[in-house]
Amino acid sequence: MTSSSKTLRAVMLVLRIALGAVFVYAAWTKLRTPWELFAMSIDSYQLLPLKAVELVARTLPWFELAVGLLLIAGFCLRSASAATALLLAVFFGLMVRAYAKGMEINCGCFGANDIISWKTLLRDGSMLAAALALTVLSFVQRRNATAR
């Protein structure tokens, strides 16, 4: 194994463990309370009808948990990292929209008291960048493995 591939593996390990832990924690904060609390956060974005809000509130935490565990386990890494990047891109887009509209709402990321601010945007933007990097690296690793 070359030193560059070792570095690549190390960076990927850090990224997937960090992102996986964040997703598992985010899922846990939602699953330990009634789903309606998360639904209220989603509803405050004023984007979806109530039925869709309920559907997202009931299913998204489980999806976050699954993606988080897959990242930590390093299983189906390309799919898991791509799903993570896609989710974070959607979250980030919605948060930027709310912030730009001056909506003082809970972001719904980690529980009830997480109001959208430049700090939450910086946090989620950093996570999105990390997820995109992990996605690219996982595909690069796969290509390198296939080429050998």
Partner 1 sequence: MKRTVLAAALLPCLAIAASFDSGKTLGGTNSPIVLEVFSSFDCPHCKEMHDDLVPLLVRDYVVSGRVCLVNREFPLAGSGHPYARAAALYATAAARIGKYSAVADALWKSQATWAINGQVWETVATVLTAAEQKKVQALAKDPGVEAEVRHDIDEATRDNVDRTPSIFITAGGRRFMLPGGVPNYELLSSVLNHYLGQ
Q: Which residues bind partner 1 (CB under 8 A)?
A: 33-34, 36-37, 39-41, 43-44, 50, 53, 104-106, 108, 112-113, 115
Q: Which is nearer to partner 1, 90 or 112 (CB)?
A: 112
Residue 89: CB minimum distance to partner 1, A: 22
Q: Please state the closest distance from residue 6 (CB atom) to partner 1, in A.
A: 44
CB nearer partner 1, residue 43 or residue 80: 43
What are the CA-CA distances from residue 131 to residues 33, 46, 82, 142 (Å)?
A: 27, 27, 7, 16
Tell which residue, 130, 137, 132, 143, has the closest CA to residue 8.
Answer: 137
Residue 57 beta carbon to partner 1: minimum distance, rounded to whole angstroms: 9
Residue closest to 67 by CA, chosen among 53, 80, 85, 48: 80
Residue whose pair of structure tokens reads 């929209």 in the numeric block: 97
Q: Which is nearer to partner 1, 38 or 92 (CB)?
A: 38
